[in-house]
Structure formats: C-alpha cells, structure tokens
Amino acid sequence: MPLPETVRSVLVVGLFLLVAPAAAEYPERPIRLILSSAPGASSDVVSRILSTELVKQMGQQIIIDNRPGAVQTLGTGMVVRANPDGYTIGYANVVTLAINKALMPNQPYDTDKDLALVGQFLSTYNLLAVTNGLPVRSVKELIEYARQNPGKLLNASSGNGTTGHLGGELFKIMTGTQIVHVPYKGTAQAIPDLLSGQIQVIFDNLTSISPHAKSGKVRGLGVSSLKRSPIFPDIPTISEAGVPGYETNSWGGIVVPVRTPRAIVMKLNAEINRALQSAALKERYAAIEAEPVGGTPEQFAAYVKKERIKWAEVVKKSGAKVD
C-alpha cells in the first residue's frame, strides 16, 4: 500500500538530515591519496602541490601513498578495493583511464564500473629530448638519424602505457622510424641513463624533464603541444619542427571508489576547484609547465571518453604491448 504524501515527505526530510551532517563534517580525519607512480614522478610532484592547498582548505592531513607497478594497475586497484567513504582517494591519469583500456583489456577491474571520477585538475605536455652525445640538434635531424640507423636508438619511458611510451609510438608511426622502447619503473630511474648516453631519446613530462633541459644536461628538441612552451620559447613544437599534427598531452585527476557518496564526491570536487584558483598553486604549476584544469565530474568523464578513442587508435596502429 503506497505511503501518504505527507509521510513520504517526512521520511525524505529525515534521511536528508541524517546524510547532510555527515557530508558537512567531512573530512574528520586524514585522507590517503594513492598514487600509481614513484616518488619524484610528474604525477607525484603535481599531486603534492595540490595536496598542500587541500590541507590548508580542509584542515586535515593528506597522506601520499606511492604504489607504482604493474602499468599503474597496482595503485589503481587499491583505490578500487578501498572503503567508499572518502578517506581513500586516488590519482588517475591518461594511462589509468584512457590508454590502459586498449593496452591492457584484461585489467583486474573496470574503471568505468569501479571508480567514480571526482575531477580533472591538471594537464601538461611532453618534451622530446635527447642525450647530449647524440649528433642531432633538431627533430628533422633525429628523424633522419633514426632512418639511417633503424633499431639502434633507444627511447626511455617512465613505464609501459605512459605518454612517454605511446607518445614515442605515435612519433614512430608518423615518421616511419624504428626506435626501440625501453620502459623504466619511473622517470627518476630513466633520467640517469639518458644523461650517461645509455639511452638516447625520451618523451617525458615537462614537469619532470624541464630542470635537466634548462641546465643543458639534455637537449630539448620539441614540445608535444601545438603551441610553444612559455618556459622553453626557443624550442619548437614537434608539429612545427617536422611532424605536422603531432600532439600528445598528459593529464590527471582525482578518483574514488564507485560507491562513495555523491555528497562527498562533490565536496572533494569543490575543494579541488577552489585549490586550483590558489595563487600559490598557479605559480608552482606555471614553473613546471602544468596547467590547472578543474571542472565537474561530468566534464572529466567526457574528456576521458575523447582521449580513449585517440589512444586506442595509437595502440592499434603501433601494435604497442606491455614490454
């Protein structure tokens, strides 16, 4: 028998009063932020900058938990399995949300069904750089050298499925070159071999490679955006330097287990958007060429969908695999 309208109204109001204080009081204790990357990686750097602002705003500590490994599925899986109470959140990026769908179809979870998107908070680009011992000083010279020496150049990346990996695959597709991919467990492990000349080429996030390029320890040849970088105005884009239309970017945002209450998701989203307006954050992001993004969970979802289409095509054409 249906409940009278007045009774239903009382029940709805009662439930709201039970839920509203919980959302209003969140967070009441420290929050764990799981990163599927090693300390010092680009995602680690940008997440710590964001966390600094969130701590100021929310009045609770944010504990960074680095869990690299298994093409970023280790850390992501921990977020999937966490209690959906808002106290375990995760960093998810182009790899975990877009590339891995095509590169690893048999992942131990489904990001669409097992994660809720909170919001995107940054976008950045890659720098194509080479070791100083390589006799090339432009993108065109690199292409020519690679064509004359097929299979002899080694391209380091911070791991399988990263934009350093797939960005290199896209470069090879568009230039008809043969360059061997060498995955590392993080940028911090790849850079020393690039500096020593054991590895000759890298496509790495500006947030992590820029200090080495600024100091002259590596030679920057091109940025992966369609416009030049303000911090490297003399370095052309890869597109204008010889590979028309080439573009890749790295991006990331915050996710939570799928059953996390909507009120908590929106609270986190609001706090992230507020943090991205901070002058301190903007200054620190600008210094490492990271662009604050922001927006709603729905906008983040639409962007993820668009990026999946792009990277699925790259994986298909290149035949990229987990090495």
Per-residue pLDDT tens for 274-303?
Answer: 999 999 999 999 988 899 999 999 999 999
Average pLDDT over residues 52-73: 94
Supply the CATH classification number for the domain 125-223: 3.40.190.10
> What residue segments make up the domains of the chain, in order of their start?
30-124+249-318, 125-223
The 3 state secondary structure assigned to 148-203 is: HCCCCCEEEECCCCCHHHHHHHHHHHHHCCCCEEEECCCHHHHHHHHHHCCCCEEE
Gap between the Cα atoms of 323 and 313, Å rounded: 19
Q: Per CATH, which fold does 30-124+249-318 belong to?
A: D-Maltodextrin-Binding Protein; domain 2 (3.40.190)
Residue 19 has pLDDT above 50, yes or no: no
pLDDT of 18 reads: 47
Residue 265 has pLDDT above 90, yes or no: yes
Gap between the Cα atoms of 64 and 66, Å rounded: 6
List, in order, residues 6 or more apart from 315 with CB less than 8 Å away: 99, 102, 103, 166, 169
Residue 315 has pLDDT above 80, yes or no: yes
Gap between the Cα atoms of 31 and 194, Å rounded: 36
pLDDT of 40 reads: 83
Residue 20 has pLDDT above 60, yes or no: no
- Digit-coded pLDDT (tens) for 75-112: 999 999 999 999 999 999 999 999 998 998 889 999 99
Gap between the Cα atoms of 218 and 128, Å rounded: 10
30-124+249-318 and 125-223 share one fold:
yes
Residue 12 has pLDDT above 60, yes or no: no
Gap between the Cα atoms of 263 and 203, Å rounded: 39
pLDDT of 97 reads: 96
Residue 14 has pLDDT above 90, yes or no: no
Q: Is 247 helix (H, G, I), strand (E, B) or coil?
A: coil
- Digit-coded pLDDT (tens) for 104-137: 888 999 999 999 999 999 999 999 999 999 999 9
Gap between the Cα atoms of 25 and 29, Å rounded: 10
Average pLDDT over residues 165-181: 96
pLDDT of 24 reads: 58
Average pLDDT over residues 7-30: 58
Residue scoring higher pLDDT (13 or 171): 171
Residue 15 has pLDDT above 80, yes or no: no
75-to-26, 146, 188, 262 alpha-carbon distances in Å: 24, 36, 18, 23
Query: Which residues, listed in sequence order, are joined to residue 221 by a DSSP beta bridge?
Result: none
- Digit-coded pLDDT (tens) for 207-261: 889 899 999 999 999 999 999 998 899 999 999 999 999 999 999 999 999 999 9
- Digit-coded pLDDT (tens) for 27-55: 999 999 999 988 888 899 999 999 999 99
